[in-house]
Amino acid sequence: MIDVSSYVDSRGSFIKFHPLNSLFENLNSVAVSVNPKRGTIRGLHFQIEPFAEEKMISCIQGSVLEVLVDIRPHSESFGKFATFELSQDSKKQVYVPKGIAHGFQTLSPNTILHYFLTSEYSSECSYSIDPLGDLNIDWPISDCLLSEKDASGVSMEYAAKKYSNSLNI
């Protein structure tokens, strides 16, 4: 987690995001995710090489439960996941390195996330791990909204194999 700079006065607030220098040098695009409904789950998304990407994510409106899953086969934390809350009030952003699948569930309606991304989107290299599958993530809102792609996502085992094969390991 990385703190962001903010300035507040009677007019409102100004928040400055800080992409890591190495991430900023490789910045490919900036994206915004708008989520009208509370309980929406997006992810767990990742891309394989040559389109594996780093992300810097901030919640600029509302709040989300962030979930990061390590799919790097030789990592000490392989197969484990971490959860934490990002919100407009926390003034935090999260860095997601290559080899980490990312997803979230909106905890409030009209939530907006802001992304810095280091790679372009590739439908051939993009995958989703089933967020309700074998990882047993305790999503806080049971009445959730999922895309068809995310609901039929791959298993953790399949994700790790695809990622590993893309690295020629």
Segment 9-25, tens digit of pLDDT = 565 555 655 555 555 67
Architecture of domain 22-166: Sandwich (2.60)
* Torsion of Cα atoms, 152 then 158 then 160 then 161, to 10°: -140
* pLDDT score, position 21: 58
What's the mean per-residue pLDDT of the chain? Answer: 87
Q: Is 115 a catalytic site residue?
A: yes
* DSSP three-state, residue 132: coil
Confidence of residue 91 (pLDDT cuts 50, 70, 90): confident
pLDDT one-digit tens code per residue, 113-153: 998 899 999 999 999 999 999 899 999 999 999 999 999 99
- Whole-number Å distance between alpha carbons of 118 and 127: 17
* DSSP three-state, residue 137: coil
* pLDDT score, position 3: 62
* Of residues 130, 90, 119, the one with CA closest to residue 107: 90
| Segments making up each domain of the chain, as ranges | 22-166
∠ at Cα 127 (107, 113), nearest 5°? Answer: 30
Bridge partners of residue 114, in order along the sequence: 32, 58
What average pLDDT does this structure show over 61-85? 95
Confidence of residue 29 (pLDDT cuts 50, 70, 90): confident
Query: Considering 7, 45, 102, 121, which one is annotated as catalytic?
Result: 45
Q: Is 45 a catalytic site residue?
A: yes
Whether the per-residue pLDDT at 2 is higher than 80: the answer is no
- Give this prediction's pTM: 0.86
